[in-house]
Amino acid sequence: MYLLRLLPCLLALSLVAEPVWLTDLDAARAQAVKQNKPVLVDFTGSDWCPPCKALHKNVFESAEFAAVASKYVLVELDYPKAKPQAPELKAKNAELSKQFGISGFPTVLLIDGKSGEVFGKTVGFGGQTAKEYLDKLASFKNTPEGKASLDKEQKSAADRSAKSRVLGQKIDDAIAAKDFKSAEAALEEMFADVTGPRKAIMPFNKARILIQIDPTAKEQALKYIDEALALTAGDDTLGKPFKAFREKIVSGVTGAPGSAPKGAAPKAATDSKKGA
């Protein structure tokens, strides 16, 4: 009896149409105007970009997305490196990338079909669940207030990017000076507001930098890698390269040659061990 009651639910799920992705933005906008829908545009590097692949696997191929995909007219603008692509499409996509100021992949835009104005934008993919990502898309509103909010959010993102560049230079300088403690402090500041699986990139980079500064500090570097793996929450997109790097540390085939860190660096590694 239970199976009979469950059968209609299963049939309903199986009838959810698979999302259809167009490759022509002009045609998509025309369709969006007729259907009174926004256009969702995915700028992706389908054959080379790990976050792009993760976004498709975790979100765009999910049942949650299939259930809401009909709210949008979907467009995929691909920028492959090895996959064959018609010259005309490649040139058109390159022009659209310039038009919308795309600076990283994946970038997903929500566009008003009639005006062509952007009212929603996400850049990159940090391992969110399908629900989290879709909730973010749903939070964008095609209103003057919504566009003003997006402008404010984009300015904040630009400020964070500028801060990351400054901190990145500090890290490079610390590596050159073999000062792990300073590099560690800059990394922690850089990732202070990061949440979710992407937080794992911080201990991974600690391991990478420490082993580069002091190739003999394998034990502490492995602790950082294990911390990173624990934070990935089973996300293979991050977990696989972390595991591969861990194997390199164990085998001793990674790390820059040179003397042990000078000054504060050995103490930083020791302090980190105490807190691990």
Residue 159 has pLDDT above 80, yes or no: yes
Instruction: Check residue 200 and report its DSSP letter.
Output: G
Q: How confident is the model at residue 253 (pLDDT cuts 50, 70, 90)?
A: confident
Cα–Cα distance list, 251 to 28, 215, 241, 260, 261 (Å)? 52, 12, 15, 19, 21
Q: What does DSSP say about strands 21-22 and 107-111: parallel, antiparallel, or unpaired?
A: unpaired
Rounded Cα distance between 105 and 43, Å, is: 6
pLDDT at 254: 67
pLDDT at 256: 42
Q: Which of 1-15, 36-50, 111-125, 240-254 has the lowest mean pLDDT?
A: 1-15
Q: How confident is the model at residue 105 (pLDDT cuts 50, 70, 90)?
A: very high
Rounded Cα distance between 107 and 43, Å, is: 5
Number of H helices and E strands in the chain, helices first, is: 12, 5
Q: How confident is the model at residue 186 (pLDDT cuts 50, 70, 90)?
A: very high
pLDDT at 16: 58
Q: Which uninterrupted H or E stretch holds 76?
A: strand 73-78
Rounded Cα distance between 258 and 212, Å, is: 9
Percent of the residues in the chain that have a pLDDT greater than 90, as a whole number? 69
192: phi then psi, degrees, rounded to nearest 5:
-60, -35
pLDDT tens digits along 52-103 = 999 999 999 999 999 999 999 999 999 999 999 999 999 999 999 999 999 9
Residue type, 130: A
Q: How confident is the model at residue 258 (pLDDT cuts 50, 70, 90)?
A: very low
140: left (phi over 0), alpha (psi -120 to 50) or beta: beta
Q: How confident is the model at residue 6 (pLDDT cuts 50, 70, 90)?
A: low
pLDDT tens digits along 215-243 = 999 999 999 999 999 998 777 777 889 99
Rounded Cα distance between 72 and 244, Å, is: 39
Residues 6+ apart with CB under 8 A from 229: 200, 239, 242, 243, 246
* pTM of the complete model beyond 0.95: no
Q: How many CB atoms lie within 10 A of CB 103?
A: 10
Cα–Cα distance list, 39 to 36, 111, 216 (Å)? 10, 5, 53
